[in-house]
C-alpha cells in the first residue's frame, strides 16, 4: 500500500518546511500514556538527541522509547525497568529487527512516531491526501470515498460518501462540519491517541471532507478530560494555520476550525447532543427528523463525523486504501493498547488476540462496545472480522476469572447513572433494568420485555442499546445469573 505522490504545491510546502532531523534520534513516548507511568523521568545518557513523542499505540510498552534511524525504527519497552544496553547499541546502529510497526500506511502510520512538528509530519507523508483532493472536483472526492468503502468509525459505520453527498447537495454556504472527538464510551481510547499522536491527520481529514462538501467552517468537539489531546491538537492547528494549509496553500478553499471542549457525560458522544452542547442548550439528544445533514448546528446543514473517520479519510487516495479499524484493547491481555486491525476478510479475533499476546484458550469472552456492547464468545474468534459489528472498536478481554454477572450489572448501573433523562424509556428503563437484575432468573421475561421497549422507544442509542450487554450476557452465560447472594453491583 502506498500513499499518493506529492502535488507541486505539496512539494513546495515540504521544501519550505523541511525536517532537519539528525540521522539518529530517540523518540521518547510520553503523551497521556507515557506520562501516567513516568516516561518523563526516564534518564537517557546517550549520544543521540531525545525528542518527545506521544504514545504510538503500544500502551503496554509504556514507558517506552523508539530509536529512529534512516528506514529503521526499533521500540524499547518498559524503560521503568531500566534503559537496556540494547538501546544504546541500536543508537550505534547495532540492531536490525524493526519493532515499532510498519509505519508505512494506515491511520496509525505516524501515530506517536513523529516529534509533533509539521516538518516531521510532512516528511512522513502528511497532507498528501488533501493535496490530491484540493486538485479534484468535489464529486470525484466523494467517488474516491465511496470506492475506498469509507464508513463512520464512531460505531454506526454509515457510508461517508452518502453523508458527503447529502451535505454537498445543499447550496447553503453556511453548512458546517462537526468533528466528534468526545469519546465518552468506556473502554475506548482511540481518538485521544489520534489527537495526541498525529493531530495533523485529523486536520487533513477535516480539509478533505470540507473540500468534498463545500463546507468552510468546522468545529472539533474534544472530550473535556482529554486536556492533553486538546492542547496538542490546538498546537498542530496553529502550525497548519501558520503554514497556510487552512488557507489554501495546498489548493482548495480556506476553512476555519474552532475547538470546543466537552465536560463529561456518556450521552455527549451522541451526535445530536454535541450540537445542543455547542449551541449552549442542555446536553440532550434531538428528535429526528430533521436530520443533521439538513438542519443541524444552528439549523445549518451539518456533516458530523467521528475523529477516526476523518483520519481514515486521509487514506482514500492510497492505492489501495487500507481497510482498517482502530481497536482499543484492554483487560486480561499481556499487551493492551491501540491496534490498527485490517478488516480485510482474513483477520479474526484470534488474530487480534495473538497480536496482543493472549492465548485464546485463556479468554472467557470479549466485551465489545462497553455499556452499549455485547459479549463475543470464543466460538466467534475464528470468524473473519467485519466492520459494522466492530462498532467503535472498544474491546475488553475477559479472562477465566472475570465475573460476567458483576460486569453486566456494572454496565447496567453505568447506563442508569449516565441516562440524561430526556426520554422516559431510557430514564425509567435503565433504573428498572438495574432493579430487575437483582434477580435475573426470576425476572427474565420482564427483563426481555423491558429491553424490547427501551430498544424500540428510546430517543437515542444510549437508551436504545443499553439493554444489549444484558441480553448478550443472559444468552451467553445463563449460569452466571442463577440465584445468588444479594447484589453487590447496584448503583452507588
Partner 1 sequence: MPADQPRPFDRDAPDASARLEAAGRGVAALPRRRDQLLPALLAAQQVLDWLPREAITLVAEHVRVPVSEVYATVMGYSELRLERPVPGAWRVCTGVACDLGGARELLDALGAALPGRAAGTDCQFLCALAPVAVDPDERLHGRVTADRIAALARAEAPAERGAT
Binding site for partner 1 (CB under 8 A): 32-33, 35-37, 59-60, 62, 183, 186-189, 192, 223-228, 231, 260-265, 267-268, 277-284, 298, 328-332, 336-338, 367, 370, 396, 398-399, 402, 407, 410-411, 414, 417-418, 420, 492
DSSP 458-492: -SSHHHHTTTHHHHHHHHH-GGGGSS-SPPS-S--
Alpha-carbon distance of 83 to 201, in angstroms, equals 31
Residues with Cβ within 8 Å of residue 120, at least 6 apart in sequence: 19, 21, 114
Which lies closer to partner 1 via its Cβ, residue 59 or residue 142? 59
Contact between 419 and 451 under an 8 Å Cβ cutoff? The reply is no
Which lies closer to partner 1 via its Cβ, residue 123 or residue 259? 259
Residue 13: in which H helix or E strand, if any? helix 8-16
- Please, what is the minimum distance in Å from the beta carbon of residue 442 to partner 1? 26
- Please, what is the minimum distance in Å from the beta carbon of residue 318 to partner 1? 27
Alpha helix segments (H runs only) across 280-392: 307-313, 349-355
- Please, what is the minimum distance in Å from the beta carbon of residue 16 to partner 1? 30
Closest CA to 434 of 469, 399, 479, 476: 469
- The C-alpha cell of 18 is what? 523541511
Question: What sign does the dihedral 127-129-132-138 (CA atoms) show?
Answer: negative
- Please, what is the minimum distance in Å from the beta carbon of residue 169 to partner 1? 26
DSSP 323-376: -EEEEEEEES-SS-EEEEEE-SSS-BHHHHHHHTT--GGG--EEEESGGG-EEE
- Please, what is the minimum distance in Å from the beta carbon of residue 91 to partner 1? 27
Which lies closer to partner 1 via its Cβ, residue 19 or residue 402? 402
Which lies closer to partner 1 via its Cβ, residue 115 or residue 318? 115
C-alpha gyration radius of the chain: 23
- Please, what is the minimum distance in Å from the beta carbon of residue 182 to partner 1? 11
Which lies closer to partner 1 via its Cβ, residue 103 or residue 373? 373
Burial 314-346 (b: 16+ CB within 10 A, else e): bbbbbeebbbbbbbbbbbbbeebbbbbbebeee
- Please, what is the minimum distance in Å from the beta carbon of residue 308 to partner 1? 14
Which lies closer to partner 1 via its Cβ, residue 91 or residue 232? 232
Which lies closer to partner 1 via its Cβ, residue 140 or residue 484? 484
Alpha-carbon distance of 180 to 74, in angstroms, equals 33
Name the β-bridge partners of 68. Answer: 25, 73
Name the β-bridge partners of 329. Answer: 337, 395
Which lies closer to partner 1 via its Cβ, residue 62 or residue 87? 62
- The C-alpha cell of 333 is what? 491481555
- Please, what is the minimum distance in Å from the beta carbon of residue 383 to partner 1? 23
- Name the residue with cell 466467534: 380
- Please, what is the minimum distance in Å from the beta carbon of residue 490 to partner 1? 13
Which lies closer to partner 1 via its Cβ, residue 248 or residue 276? 276
Amino acid at each position: 500500500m502506498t500513499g499518493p505522490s506529492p502535488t507541486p504545491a505539496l512539494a513546495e510546502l515540504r521544501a519550505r518546511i523541511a525536517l532537519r532531523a539528525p540521522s539518529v534520534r530517540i523518540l521518547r513516548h510520553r503523551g497521556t500514556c507515557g506520562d501516567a507511568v513516568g516516561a518523563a523521568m526516564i534518564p537517557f545518557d546517550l549520544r543521540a538527541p531525545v525528542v518527545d513523542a506521544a504514545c504510538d499505540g503500544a500502551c503496554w510498552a509504556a514507558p517506552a522509547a523508539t530509536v529512529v534511524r534512516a528506514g529503521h525504527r526499533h521500540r524499547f519497552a518498559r524503560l521503568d525497568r531500566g534503559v537496556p544496553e540494547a538501546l544504546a547499541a541500536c543508537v550505534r546502529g547495532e540492531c536490525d529487527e524493526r519493532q515499532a510497526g510498519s509505519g508505512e500506511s494506515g491511520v496509525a502510520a505516524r501515530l506517536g512516531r513523529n516529534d509533533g512538528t509539521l516538518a516531521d509530519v510532512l516528511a512522513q507523508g502528511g497532507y498528501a491526501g488533501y493535496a490530491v483532493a484540493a486538485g479534484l472536483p468535489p464529486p470525484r472526492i466523494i467517488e474516491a470515498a465511496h470506492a475506498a468503502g469509507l464508513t463512520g468509525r464512531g460505531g454506526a459505520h454509515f457510508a461517508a460518501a452518502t453523508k458527503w453527498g447529502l451535505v454537498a447537495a445543499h447550496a447553503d454556504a453556511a453548512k458546517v462540519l462537526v468533528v466528534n472527538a468526545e469519546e465518552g464510551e468506556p473502554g475506548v481510547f482511540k481518538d485521544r491517541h489520534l489527537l495526541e499522536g498525529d493531530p495533523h491527520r485529523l486536520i487533513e481529514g477535516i480539509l478533505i471532507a470540507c473540500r468534498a462538501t463545500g463546507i468552510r467552517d468546522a468545529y472539533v468537539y474534544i472530550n473535556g478530560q482529554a486536556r492533553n489531546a486538546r492542547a496538542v491538537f490546538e498546537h498542530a492547528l496553529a502550525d497548519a494555520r501558520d503554514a497556510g494549509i487552512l488557507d489554501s496553500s495546498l489548493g482548495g478553499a480556506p476553512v476555519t476550525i474552532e475547538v470546543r471542549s466537552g465536560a463529561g457525560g456518556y450521552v455527549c458522544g451522541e451526535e445530536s447532543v454535541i450540537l445542543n452542547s455547542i449551541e449552549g442548550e442542555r446536553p440532550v439528544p434531538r428528535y429526528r427528523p430533521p436530520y443533521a445533514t439538513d438542519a443541524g448546528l444552528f439549523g445549518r446543514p451539518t456533516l458530523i463525523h467521528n475523529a477516526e473517520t476523518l483520519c481514515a479519510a486521509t487514506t482514500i487516495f492510497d492505492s489501495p486504501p487500507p481497510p482498517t479499524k482502530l481497536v482499543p484493547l484492554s483487560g486480561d491481555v499481556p499487551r493492551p493498547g491501540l491496534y490498527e486491525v485490517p478488516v480485510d476478510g482474513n483477520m479474526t479475533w484470534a488474530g487480534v488476540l495473538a497480536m496482543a499476546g493472549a492465548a485464546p484458550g485463556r479468554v472467557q469472552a470479549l466485551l465489545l462496545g462497553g455499556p452499549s456492547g455485547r459479549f463475543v464468545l470464543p466460538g466467534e474468534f475464528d470468524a473473519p472480522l467485519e466492520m459494522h459489528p466492530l462498532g467503535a472498536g472498544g474491546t475488553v478481554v475477559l479472562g477465566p476469572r472475570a465475573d460476567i454477572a458483576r460486569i453486566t450489572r456494572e454496565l447496567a448501573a453505568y447506563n442508569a447513572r449516565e441516562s440524561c433523562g430526556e426520554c422516559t424509556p431510557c430514564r425509567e428503563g435503565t433504573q428498572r433494568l438495574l432493579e430487575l437484575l437483582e434477580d435475573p432468573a426470576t425476572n427474565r421475561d420482564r427483563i426481555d420485555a423491558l429491553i424490547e421497549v427501551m430498544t424500540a422507544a428510546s430517543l437515542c442509542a444510549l437508551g436504545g442499546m443499553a439493554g444489549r450487554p444484558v441480553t448478550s450476557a443472559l444468552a451467553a452465560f445463563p449460569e452466571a445469573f442463577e440465584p445468588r447472594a444479594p447484589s453487590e453491583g447496584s448503583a452507588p
